[in-house]
Each structure stands twice: as C-alpha cells, then as structure tokens.
C-alpha cells in the first residue's frame, strides 16, 4: 500500500471517528452521521480502502477510544445491542465502493442503497438476537425511523463524493 493510500484511509477513518459519537437518541439505536461518513469512505476510496477505513474505525473503537455513539468505545459496544450496525458498516462501505467507479449516475446511489440494506440486515439481525425482539418490532425500532435520514445522507453523499474522488485520484 502506498503512502498516499494509507493517508487517505487514515483521514477517512478519522472522519468516521468524528461523525460516530455525534448522536441523537431515537430509541435503542441512535441517529448519527456515521453512516454518512461510511458512504463517503466507500464512494471516495473504493471497495478495499473504504472498507479498510471502516475497519480502522472499528479497531480504534474496540480498543476503547470513545468513537462510537454517545462517545463510547470498547469491545462491549461491538458485542452489544448496536454491535451489528457497527459491523454492518464494513459491508456498507464495501458495497458503496463497488458503485464508486465510473459509470451511469444512478450507479453510486444504487450501491449506497445496497450497502444500507446490508447494514440494516446485519444490524437488525444482531439486534433481534441480542434483545429477542421479533422482526416487526425490530424493524419498527431500528430501520423505519432511519429511512428518511439515510435517504438524505445518500443524496448528500452522492452529490459531494464524486468531486472529492476526482480530486483524490489526481
């Protein structure tokens, strides 16, 4: 890996670390800008580097640095109720990265939607295991309230990521 790649991964991981703790409580799963930063990581850096930035964020949080929701950190957060969503960020960044290559304009937001679906699937399944809630209740607490915000984040990331990617690729 080149120095430029390592720097870009570190900068994007830092962005995720800054966005992650800033949350608004909306139930058991907090609303945060972390998914927006994850979209940017995948869209700007591509599959491998975007997922690596997320993995670095997760590692930083796992060792106890308070970069997770509500300025928390530690392994307990990764295995707790919201741990599936944290793990789902890896799939979200990777799938978003698949849509980041040149192609039709619909490609990037479509892959962000796929990434979001993977994020929701992993996170909601883990939430159901941890809380013993049925699917309907879990969707009502962990997915439906977040759809409008995630749609807005996808629109914003779709607009700002391509010019950043072009600048980074120079």
Query: What's the CA gap between 78 and 69, in Å, rounded?
Result: 11
**Model confidence, pTM:** 0.95
* Cα–Cα distance measured from residue 61 to residue 75, given in angstroms and rounded to the nearest whole number: 8
Q: What value does the mean pLDDT take over residues 109-131?
A: 98
What percent of the chain is modeled with pLDDT above 70?
100
Query: Which CATH fold would you assign to the domain 3-169?
Result: Arp2/3 complex 21 kDa subunit ARPC3 (1.10.1760)
pLDDT for 87 equals 97
Q: Transcribe 141-152 into DSSP letters.
A: HHTGGGHHHHHH
Mean pLDDT over residues 114-118, rounded? 98
Rounded to the nearest 5 degrees, what angle is found at the Cα of 36, between the Cα atoms of 102 and 168? Answer: 45
Spatial distance between the Cα atoms of 6 and 170, rounded to a whole number of angstroms: 16
Q: Are 25 and 77 in contact (CB under 8 A)?
A: no
Please say if the pLDDT value at position 151 is more than 80: yes
Across 87-116, average pLDDT? 95
Q: What pLDDT sits at residue 28?
A: 81
Return phi, psi of residue 64, to 5°.
110, -5
Q: Where are the domains of the chain?
A: 3-169
E strand or H helix that includes residue 31: strand 31-32
């Amino acid at each position: 890996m080149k120095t430029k790649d390592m720097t870009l991964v570190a900068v994007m991981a830092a962005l995720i670390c800054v966005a992650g703790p800033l949350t608004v409580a909306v139930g058991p799963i907090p609303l945060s800008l972390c998914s927006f930063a994850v979209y940017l990581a995948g869209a700007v850096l591509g599959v491998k580097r975007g997922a690596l930035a997320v993995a670095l964020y997760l590692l930083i949080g796992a060792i106890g640095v308070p970069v997770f929701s509500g300025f928390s950190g530690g392994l307990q957060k990764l295995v707790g109720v919201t741990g599936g969503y944290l793990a789902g960020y890896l799939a979200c960044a990777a799938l978003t990265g698949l849509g980041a290559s040149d192609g039709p304009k619909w490609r990037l937001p479509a892959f962000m939607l796929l990434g979001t679906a993977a994020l929701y699937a992993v996170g909601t399944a883990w939430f159901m295991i941890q809380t013993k809630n049925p699917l309907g209740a879990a969707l009502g607490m962990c997915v439906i309230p977040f759809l409008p915000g995630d749609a807005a984040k996808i629109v914003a990331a779709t607009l700002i990521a391509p010019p950043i990617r072009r600048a980074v690729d120079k």
